[in-house]
Structure 1
Amino acid sequence: MPERVRESRGYGQQRSGALSGLLKRIGLAEVYNPSMLPTLRPGDRLVVKYGSRVRPGAVVLLRHPLQHDLLIVKRAVERRSGGWWVVGDNSQVRNDSREFGAVPDDLMVARAWVRLRPPRGPQRSLRPVLPWVFSAVRPLVVLPAGRSGTASASSSSLTSLLSRLSRRLRAR
């Protein structure tokens, strides 16, 4: 099953000045595949900034190197001679640089800032809504530079980082 992301650009009404320029550079993308689990689930939406500088550890929206009409979401691991080495956080899915190599800069579309998680089905009481409210909007974590470029290493470091963050959130 090919991986895909649907994007929407430039939210808001026509505005003048700097706000208009900012709104043209911000958009939404919807995740369809499990390649970024546990960070992103199918159905999650991403607030992305077009033209933003890619940094190691950032979640990015890019054009698939072998199929340019297909947008995918991956984590930028490191800069190499041919471009960016990108991997998914889910080591079971191999639709990343292990399959197609480094991705040239001109195929990088946007950097993801925030994950928006939609509610799972209709809720009849307030009790299941409260946990969703606190987990629905999360900034995406930029992993520290200097970690290994393998998917298993990225998954384990991501998992440990997320578990530390969730422990911190539960403690408050």
Structure 2
Amino acid sequence: MVPTLAPRDKILVHYGAHWGVGDIVLVSQGLRTDVKRVTQVTGQEVWVEGDNALVSIDSRQYGSIAIEQVVAKAIVRLPNLRWKFGSRTKQ
């Protein structure tokens, strides 16, 4: 989902939340869960895409998914903060 989400970013999700076109959602794909953006909803089917079209595996490869496969909506992105602990050196 780069550039929207960076590797190791965390997202806070709301299971059962209403979502629509443009929202970032969790998609259940059997044993794994993917993060994708909803780009189209048609009846009981959803088209989802990753933001990085060159490398994302999404509806462009596997087609639309069942609406039941969308399990949660991302509501907050938590950036990966890397803290360095220890003493400062004098300059």
Q: Give the structure-2-normalised TM-score.
A: 0.86
Is 1:93 equivalent to 2:55 in the alignment?
A: yes
In structure 1, how many angstroms separate the alpha carbons of the residues matched to 2:62 and 2:85?
Answer: 42
1:157: which partner in 2? none
Decide whether the 8 Å contact of 1:82 with 1:102 is kept in 2. no
- Which runs of 5 or more residues in structure 2 are unaligned? 87-91
Deviating 4+ runs (over 3 angstroms): none
Q: Give the structure-1-normalised TM-score.
A: 0.47
1:50-89 aligned at under 5 Å gives the runs 50-64=15-29, 68-81=30-43, 83-89=45-51
In structure 1, how many angstroms separate the alpha carbons of the residues matched to 2:79 and 2:85?
Answer: 15
1:3-152 aligned at under 5 Å gives the runs 36-64=1-29, 68-81=30-43, 83-122=45-84
Structure having the higher strand fraction is 2
- Bigger relative contact order, structure 1 or 2, given CA contacts below 8 A and separation 6+? 2
In structure 2, how many angstroms separate the alpha carbons of the residues matched to 1:99 and 1:49?
Answer: 27
User: Residue deviations 1:64-84, cap 9 Å, x none?
Assistant: 2xxx01100000001125511
What's the RMSD between the two structures over aligned residues? Answer: 1.8
- Which runs of 5 or more residues in structure 1 are unaligned? 1-35, 125-172
In structure 2, how many angstroms separate the alpha carbons of the residues matched to 1:105 and 1:42?
Answer: 26
Give, in angstroms, the shift of residue 121 of structure 1.
4.6
Structure having the higher helix fraction is 1
How much identity, in percent, do the aligned residues show?
A: 37
Decide whether the 8 Å contact of 1:80 with 1:102 is kept in 2. no
Give, in angstroms, the shift of residue 87 of structure 1.
0.3
Give, in angstroms, the shift of residue 106 of structure 1.
1.1
Give, in angstroms, the shift of residue 94 of structure 1.
3.3
2:89: which partner in 1? none
